[in-house]
Structure 1
Amino acid sequence: MRYAQVFYISIYLLAVSFKDVLCIVDPVSLSIGAGVGLGALYGFNFMKDQTYCRVTECCNERSIPGNIGNLRDMLQKRLYGQHIVKQQLISALEAHFNPRISSRKPLVMSFHGTPGTGKNFVAEMIAEALYEKGTKSRFVHKYMGRLDFSVEKNVHIYNQRIYRDVVEGITECPRSLFIFDEVDKMPPGVFESLASLVDYNALPNKLDGSKAIFIFLSNLAGVQISDQLAKMLKNGELRENIKLSAFEQILEKASYNLDGGLKKAGLIEQHVIDHYIPFLPLEKKHVYQCTSAEFMKWERYPHKQVIEAMLQEVITYDRAHGLFSTSGCKTIEKKVATEVWIEKQSV
């Protein structure tokens, strides 16, 4: 594979060199040389797409299909209790990928909610739908707060790393995806270099970052989301009718004021974050749906009473309202796998 890459790069360099030589000859050769060079470059790109890029990942439509329709189907079938996420996320991505809309900046989204509500799950589905190799794509860059950016005294080092990684990532592929998980576990100031990079036309060397996507995942404002939702439900509003507008300002203020990587961040001050998306706390019916879906993966279809009995052991409710599962669907996958294994051993 390395030999193939060297071969096609050699063709490209030969084409460029040939163009440069022709351009020195005379004014007439200038146009001829440019035409030959562009033709050679086009031929190189076509040849690369038809050969090398068929066996390895490239920054093209084959490796990055951007299948929003597939994402819509996945969200509909596999995500429970998050109607706001489904509405806002699909609209944001469709607008971002629409060739008729000339955006001047990357798409930047911040996901907020308590554990088990689906933030990581949705981020993985986005990667799965947009990239042929999903989260294993070399154009998908993921960082963990507690692993990558945990020491406050190293903030300046983290800023340098983020700056370098983003510039190199977008240089390699303008359609890169950057996911920052556990933002609430990061020290303040970690994203200051990023604030300028994702602003309008702020990348160095005239790089075009407008096609990139940045996603921040955080437990920040989870309590505030729960309080707001409980208040609205108790006032008689239907969960499915509640709009994003009920949470946006709450999320922005909490992100800016609470401890974490976004505290007093330039990303917020410069209004670089396009969408603050709340992941609502899950009620019992949603955890039931998660549990049923997990059993179906094992081709098991237990009676309703079996799932009910399991949920009595699994679900604990928040003390403030007594309405929402404290862990959402976070532990369901392993619980179901254990139940299935026990069942197999008893046969």
Structure 2
Amino acid sequence: MKDQLMGQPIARNVIHTSIKAHINTKNPAKALVLLLHGSTGTGKNFISKLIVESLYKKGYKSGYVRLYVASRDFMHDDEHSIQEYKARIKKDIEKGTSTCEHATFIFDEVDKPYVQSLLLEIILHYTHFYTERYPIPIDFRKTIFIFLSNTGGKEINRIAFKYHLDSVKREDYKIAEFQKELGNAAHNEEGGLWHASLINRHLVDFFVPFLPLERSHVSTCIQRQLAIVRKHEEYQYKLSDNDIVAKVLDLIEFSPPDAQLYSVSGCKKVAQKLDFILEGIRMKPVQTKTEF
């Protein structure tokens, strides 16, 4: 995370420390629940992938990991479908945890109200605090639940911009201020009531804010993507790498209008924008040296 995740010192520190502590604690009080929230393209999916690849040798192919994407796995909001989703999720969680006590379950795009209602019931069932008085067949205390949400992005961006105007470095942003403001705004944003329920019930261990990405972060994303392209292609281009990066940056929308500081889409559109620029400046393939 330190080498690959850009511009997210709060997320990097909280996620790394909380997961490490959870795994190293012999008898944790409850399952670890993390809610990653912020604008699109800021690294929530990317860091989830890093977590899975760090914990499991087979990454997402491991039998101890489940990734649910709401737009794919929870497409319908009728009662029959919701009951089917509940049954499937419960079966997956119980089967996965019975096989591996450190099973991980990741839920992406949890912004739709009916999806949040579905998942809230699941969290209530599997993440309560353990008590010796009421033993259960399967111990879920070492399980990890990670939820990805775009809600709260506006509040996160507003606080980040305030810090920027005060010349505060990202490494010095206070997570407590983000958590407080997100809690206050929970009732005013679509999907926010779910946050409020989680806060009131003390179900989430950490609300992890993902900060908006600045121009320098997006520039690094472009450079990394360009390096990947050059590794797999044998083309020459009419422009230097620096000029290519500049061209792609020109296609990225930044906000606020008067400051042009934060990428509206984070790094999400970098690959497509880069492909567009490269298509217009591509030359003949590089001539490889041979013995003939």
TM over 0.5: yes
Specify the alignment match of 2:223 in structure 1.
292
TM-score, with structure 2 as normaliser: 0.82
Q: Which amino acid aligns with 1:335?
A: K
Residue 116 (1) aligns with residue 41 (2): yes
Indicate the SS of the match to 1:220. Answer: coil
Residues 102/345 of structure 1: CA separation in 2 closer, same or farther (3 Å cut): same
Indicate the SS of the match to 1:183. Answer: coil
Specify the alignment match of 1:153 in structure 2.
78
Residue 190 (1) aligns with residue 128 (2): no
Q: Which amino acid aligns with 1:221?
A: G
The 2-side partners of 1:108 and 1:145 are apart by 18
Specify the alignment match of 1:97 in structure 2.
23
Residues 185/134 of structure 1: CA separation in 2 closer, same or farther (3 Å cut): same
Instruction: Please list every run of 5 or more consecutive structure 2 residues that lacks an aligned counterpart in the other structure.
Output: 232-238, 286-292
Larger CA Rg, structure 1 vs 2: 1
State the shift of 1:204 in Å.
7.8
Residue 274 (1) aligns with residue 239 (2): no
The 2-side partners of 1:170 and 1:261 are apart by 29
Indicate the SS of the match to 1:132. Answer: coil
Structure with more relative contact order (C-alpha pairs < 8 Å, separation 6 or more): 2
State the shift of 1:126 in Å.
0.6
Greater CA deviation, 229-238 or 256-265? 256-265
Residue 245 (1) aligns with residue 176 (2): yes
Instruction: Please list every run of 5 or more consecutive structure 1 residues that lacks an aligned counterpart in the other structure.
Output: 1-74
The 2-side partners of 1:250 and 1:150 are apart by 31
Greater CA deviation, 212-221 or 146-155? 146-155
Residues 122/297 of structure 1: CA separation in 2 closer, same or farther (3 Å cut): same
Greater CA deviation, 308-317 or 263-272? 263-272
Superposed CA RMSD in Å reads: 2.7
Greater CA deviation, 109-118 or 188-197? 188-197
1:192-231 to 2 correspondence within 5 Å?
A: 192-201=121-130, 205-231=136-162
Specify the alignment match of 1:329 in structure 2.
267
Q: Larger % of helix: which?
A: 1
Indicate the SS of the match to 1:278. Answer: strand
Residues 288/157 of structure 1: CA separation in 2 closer, same or farther (3 Å cut): same
TM-score, with structure 1 as normaliser: 0.70
| Alignment length (residue pairs) | 272
Q: Which amino acid aligns with 2:108?
A: D
After superposition, give the CA deviation of every residue in 1:241-270 in whole Å (9 maximum; x if it has no partner): 112112112334545664339627754332
Q: Which amino acid aligns with 1:327?
A: S
The 2-side partners of 1:166 and 1:253 are apart by 32
After superposition, give the CA deviation of every residue in 1:41-74 in whole Å (9 maximum; x if it has no partner): xxxxxxxxxxxxxxxxxxxxxxxxxxxxxxxxxx
Specify the alignment match of 1:129 in structure 2.
54
State the shift of 1:277 in Å.
0.5
State the shift of 1:102 in Å.
2.6
Residues 174/266 of structure 1: CA separation in 2 closer, same or farther (3 Å cut): farther
After superposition, give the CA deviation of every residue in 1:197-240 in whole Å (9 maximum; x if it has no partner): 11113898431112211000010000110111112212332233
Residue 80 (1) aligns with residue 6 (2): yes
Indicate the SS of the match to 1:200. Answer: coil
Q: Larger % of strand: which?
A: 2
Alpha-carbon contact 1:150-1:186 (below 8 Å) kept: no
